[in-house]
């Protein structure tokens, strides 16, 4: 019988190949469309195998199981899927330099990190929305980093390999705010759905996660409002994006790490 770990091992070389092509594209100043189809196919196969590995890892013994490692793997898989879909319309494969290593890390963590516990069916929608939000906003954060480097080089008139390989600055900014808007909407839905399932905020150990998630939501809301009303852009937008995502990471990974790793509790 095919196991979750076996499928994860099959996915790894495809992630690595896609990463290697993008790295070589930047390292040797190759054209932006160099082996683009191969990258799409390779990352697509990796994402499919990763998804199948997750399915087997989550669904067994008649229940849905969840842990910190499975959560990391889910976020990596969802981010890889979103990147693949966006790449069909826009040349944003360079984000794979951030996303594919994280997806690989998720595959390793899936069966080795955290304490697996059965997930009540009513939490399914909330978990799905939260994973989608983390993935989209993680993509936005990676985009913000590349945009920041590109904008700084543009202002200093330094036409580096990265600058020549990435899409135009205006497209990079448009993609960044597109990801932020979609991610913010999904994060809002995730927070609303979470409120519906909270019975005891303290008893369910959700205070830390809720506090930092709400702080992140406020930062994202302020950034999008500032962009719409005040025209905020450039490094100010990058800093706000990094701060907001950092708060999300503190909220989710921090609480799960303490519960599952330090306290050995689901």
Condensed to tens digits (0 to 9), the pLDDT of residues 32-58 reads: 677 888 999 999 999 999 999 999 888
Specify if 220 maps to a domain: yes
Question: Total structural domains in the chain?
Answer: 2
112 backbone dihedrals φ, ψ, rounded to 5°: -135, -10
Give residues with Cβ within 8 angstroms of 184, minimum separation 6.
137, 217, 220, 221, 224
Q: Please work out, in degrees rounded to the nearest 5, the angle formed at the alpha carbon of residue 219 by the alpha carbons of 236 and 181.
A: 85
Specify if 242 maps to a domain: yes
Task: Supply the range of the domain harboring residue 2.
Answer: 1-66+80-113
Provide the phi-psi class of 60: left if phi over 0, else alpha when psi is between -120 and 50, else beta.
beta
**Pair 232, 130 in one domain:** yes
Q: Are strands 59-60 and 63-66 parallel, antiparallel or unpaired?
A: antiparallel
Specify if 73 maps to a domain: no
Specify if 156 maps to a domain: yes
- pLDDT, position 1: 57
**Pair 49, 154 in one domain:** no
pLDDT above 60 (res 201): no
Specify if 2 maps to a domain: yes
Prediction pTM value: 0.81
Instruction: Tell me if 130 sits within 8 A of 190, measured CB to CB.
Output: yes
Give residues with Cβ within 8 angstroms of 121, minimum separation 6.
64
**Pair 232, 154 in one domain:** yes
How far, in Å, CA of 248 to CA of 129, rounded? 14
Q: Please work out, in degrees rounded to the nearest 5, the angle formed at the alpha carbon of residue 79 by the alpha carbons of 254 and 44.
A: 145
Helix (H/G/I), strand (E/B), else coil: 8: helix
117 backbone dihedrals φ, ψ, rounded to 5°: -145, 150
Burial zone of 187 (CB within 10 Å; 0-12 exposed, 13-18 middle, 19+ buried): buried
**Pair 129, 50 in one domain:** no
**Pair 85, 170 in one domain:** no
Give the residues across from 117 on adjacent strands. Answer: 66
How far, in Å, CA of 143 to CA of 179, rounded? 9
How far, in Å, CA of 44 to CA of 192, rounded? 32
**Pair 1, 21 in one domain:** yes
pLDDT, tens digit, 9 for 90 and up, residues 109-161: 888 776 777 777 667 777 788 888 988 999 999 889 888 888 877 677 665 55
């Amino acid at each position: 019988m095919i196991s979750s770990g076996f499928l994860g091992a099959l996915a790894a070389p495809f992630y690595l190949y896609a990463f290697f092509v993008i790295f070589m594209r930047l390292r040797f100043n190759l054209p932006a469309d160099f082996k683009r189809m191969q990258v799409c196919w390779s990352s697509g196969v990796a994402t499919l195998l990763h998804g199948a590995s997750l399915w087997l890892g989550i669904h067994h013994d008649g229940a849905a199981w969840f842990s910190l490692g499975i959560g990391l793997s889910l976020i990596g898989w969802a981010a890889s899927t979103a990147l693949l879909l966006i790449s069909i319309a826009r040349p944003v494969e360079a984000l794979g330099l951030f996303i594919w290593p994280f997806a690989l890390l998720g595959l390793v963590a899936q069966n080795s990190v955290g304490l697996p516990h059965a997930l009540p069916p009513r939490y399914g929608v909330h978990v799905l929305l939260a994973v989608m939000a983390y993935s989209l906003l993680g993509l936005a954060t990676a985009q913000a980093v590349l945009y920041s480097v590109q904008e700084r080089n543009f202002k200093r008139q330094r036409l580096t390999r990265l600058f020549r390989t990435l899409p135009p600055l205006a497209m990079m900014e448009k993609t960044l705010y597109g990801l932020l808007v979609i991610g913010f909407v999904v994060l809002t839905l995730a927070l609303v759905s979470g409120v519906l399932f909270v019975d005891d905020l303290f008893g369910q150990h959700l205070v830390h996660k809720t506090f930092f998630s709400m702080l992140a939501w406020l930062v994202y809301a302020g950034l999008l409002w500032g962009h719409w009303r005040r025209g905020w852009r450039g490094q100010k937008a990058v800093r706000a994006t990094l701060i907001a995502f950092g708060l999300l990471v503190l909220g989710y990974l921090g609480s799960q790490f303490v519960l599952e790793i330090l306290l050995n509790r689901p």
